[in-house]
Amino acid sequence: MDFKLTEEQQMLQETAERLVRDVYDFDSRNKFSESEAGFSTAFWQQMGELGLTAIPFAEELGGFGGSGIETMLIMEQLGRGICLEPYMESVILAGGLIAQLGSDAQQEALMGEIASGQLQAAVALDELNSHYDLANVTTTAKQDGSEWSLSGRKGVVIGGQTAGKILVSARTSGDSRDQQGISLFLVDPTDAGVSRRVYATMDGRKACELFLDNAKGELLGEAGKAYDAIRYQSGRAIAALCAEAVGAMRTACDLTLEYLKTRKQFGVPIGKFQVLQHRMVDMISELERATSMATLAACLADDEDSAERSAKLAAAKFIVNRAARSVAEESIQLHGGIAMTWEYNGAHYAKRLVMISHQFGDDDHHLEAYAAQLTGA
């Protein structure tokens, strides 16, 4: 298999790399994090102007027809800068769901704006007791004529604090853990019956809890049959997160190596000590293993839905989760106390890696999912 990037892919990678390098220095990131939006709206606009927000979408939807590989290249660079913008949530997940389930009218109204970066969307799937189970939905939707009203509570809606539209999973039939009976709705967060509680996450981003009290929702697709699409698009989101983790791990390794070369003890750089060299090699080994699995995930992210695809994505997320946590922990150990301080950027990479390892399932969850696929359980 040829893993060389095409000329167009190299240009895309260089564009994303240059954009992140020019904008996302450490001090700027802290300012973006403390802003009301929780990220740089100017950077988001730049991504739209450069076409980065349009890469994954088909040309007829206003995009460039990119594959999982192109998404991987962008996400890795965003990971290197631990960028705060909700690219995965808005472009990959929300955009993917609308492209898969939306009617022609909905796609025409929304996809162009998402592809251009004019509309930032969010997705509300998690609930207080769902614990990575996409089918565990207690938020309800009731139909009155041609209109739907939603009631319930959603948690950890990344990017929901600034979203113009929020996609909400709600139950229209069945019991709380049934895969059938789950529908997806477009909700305007400014409508009556919708409220948000915004908070900061441990990695410097912002999220919100979403409260729905007979809030108006616009149905996406067929009522009660959204679960398969949610699972499929979550797989694409997992592949994107794997790539972001690789980018963050690569920078964490670079920071650690530079520290070992410059920090002196007993008159010599601490990188001269063999035991620390071995631990640095362990970090690089974890990075390379995660890179291989992230590439695998990117290659099959847009494949047709199948048990094999689900199993490989679960395996990729499991390996990347373990590697991300290992690199974060080793980086802290090799740096010493400075790696735990807010003023040092290495601490923020560690926090983001830990956060990624819990998004869309931790390593235990994906190990169980992989085993279930193998045994047919």
The Cα diameter of the chain in Å comes to 79
CA distance 148 to 200: 31
Instruction: Give all domains of the chain, ordered by start, each with its CATH number.
Output: 7-119 (1.10.540.10), 122-224 (2.40.110.10), 228-375 (1.20.140.10)
Which is nearest to 259 in space by CA: 326, 351, 331, 324? 331
Question: Is the CB of residue 186 less than 8 Å from the CB of residue 165?
Answer: yes
Number of DSSP helices (H) and strands (E) in the chain, helices first: 12, 9
Helix (H, G, I), strand (E, B) or coil at 286: helix
Cα angle value 311/314/317 (rounded, 5°)? 150
Query: Cα 317 to the chain's mean position, in Å?
Result: 12
Question: Is the CB of residue 187 less than 8 Å from the CB of residue 217?
Answer: yes
pLDDT value of residue 377: 57
Q: CB count, 10 Å around CB of 31?
A: 10
Cα angle value 197/198/199 (rounded, 5°)? 120
Question: Is the CB of residue 139 less than 8 Å from the CB of residue 152?
Answer: yes
pLDDT value of residue 74: 98
pLDDT value of residue 68: 95
CA distance 114 to 90: 7
Q: Which two tokens stand for residue 2?
A: 């040829």
Which residue shows structure tokens 């929702």? 217
Helix (H, G, I), strand (E, B) or coil at 7: helix
pLDDT value of residue 297: 97
pLDDT value of residue 148: 97
Which residue shows structure tokens 């060389």? 4
Q: Which residues pair with 123 in a beta bridge?
A: 167
Per-10-residue mean pLDDT of the chain, 377 residues long, equals: 84 96 95 96 97 95 93 98 98 98 96 96 94 94 94 97 97 92 97 96 96 97 96 98 98 96 89 92 97 96 95 97 96 92 93 96 94 79
Question: Is the CB of residue 160 less than 8 Å from the CB of residue 204?
Answer: no
pLDDT value of residue 264: 84
pLDDT value of residue 2: 64
CA distance 93 to 159: 12
pLDDT value of residue 50: 96
Alpha helices by DSSP H, the chain: 7-23, 26-34, 41-49, 68-80, 87, 95-101, 104-116, 227-262, 274-300, 307-335, 345-356, 363-375
